[in-house]
Amino acid sequence: MFDVLTVGEALVEIMRPDRDQPLDKPGEFLGPFASGAPAIFAVAAARLGLASAFIGGVGNDAFGRLLQARLTHENVNTAGLRIVPGRSTGLAFVGYTADGRREFVFHLRHSAGSAIDVDLLPAAYFSGIRWLHLSGSALALGDAGRSACHKTLDWTLAAGGRLSLDPNLRPELMPLDEARQALGPYLAVAALLLPTAKEARALTGAADDDAAASRLLGGQERIAVLKRGAQGCTVYTQQARLYMPGFTVAEVDPTGAGDCFNAAFLLGLNSGWDLERVARFANAAGALAVTKQGPMEGAPTVQEIEAFLAQAGRE
């Protein structure tokens, strides 16, 4: 029985060590680091004490072994992790700019990560599942990825679980119009929506955040959270709007911060906390995530978040 299950890409990330080192110029790199939004989320959830499972594919290669070892070490259930013959493990090269933007070059669509096969799992695997968390990037993996997401959603809902959705728009993988179409069925049924404010406006075509959130809620009793990075987040329901400011930290690597935020928000909901406490806790998780180099390295534990919040309360 899993608190959270996610399906999608596990990949290795190789990054520039400093800002303003474009990927189209020769230079040094750091890595490899275990990465991929769903895999980062699965690790972040496990570190927070949630029973976490990951479904995906890796190659029979050194990077695949790295990912297998990392997920296992982090106590993520990997019964759904498949070694795909004849395909290499997914890969991303990342560069950073001084203003916080990132540049990606992906090897993903034809990698082992795009050959997900959930039919190999027994039906009992989904028994008692509480949340399925999907990242929009998983829908960019091609037909197999989309089929896997569709099937896991059907099985989760049939088992009484709920959907948490991070649109995670990546124009390098899927143009916006295609992403809107692919995400449509998931946006319609998600109990928890976790876009950035920019993504919310892009998906809905709304001119401002409040209008975008209203369209995402669609008159349903669910939660839409607009993430704002260092500025925190705004939580919307049919009854309320709550802005929770973020925390000031020294940023080292922003990759994975949103995935850690997502895992922390789900922990808070699972724990029955009020939304103010949930939002503050999730903001702290996202802040801590950026303080270490590597997508998974900064994923915090509950104890680390609580210590951070206690220190912030004294300042």
Q: List, by residue number, the catalytic residues.
A: 259
Q: Residue 209's closest CA among 241, 171, 249, 247? A: 241
> What is the DSSP pairing of strand 90-96 with strand 102-107?
antiparallel
- Amino acid of residue 211: A
67 HSE (CA, 13 A, CB side)? 34
Angle between helix 37-47 and 62-73 (nearest 10): 30
Residue 98 CB neighbours (<10 A) = 8
Q: Residue 23 burial (CB < 10 Å; 0-12/13-18/19+)? A: middle
Helix and strand numbers (H, E) in the chain are 9, 13
- Rg (C-alpha) for the chain, rounded Å, is 18
Q: Residue 310 burial (CB < 10 Å; 0-12/13-18/19+)? A: exposed
CA distance 169 to 123: 30
The C-alpha angle with vertex 311 and arms to 307 and 315, in degrees rounded to 5, equals 170
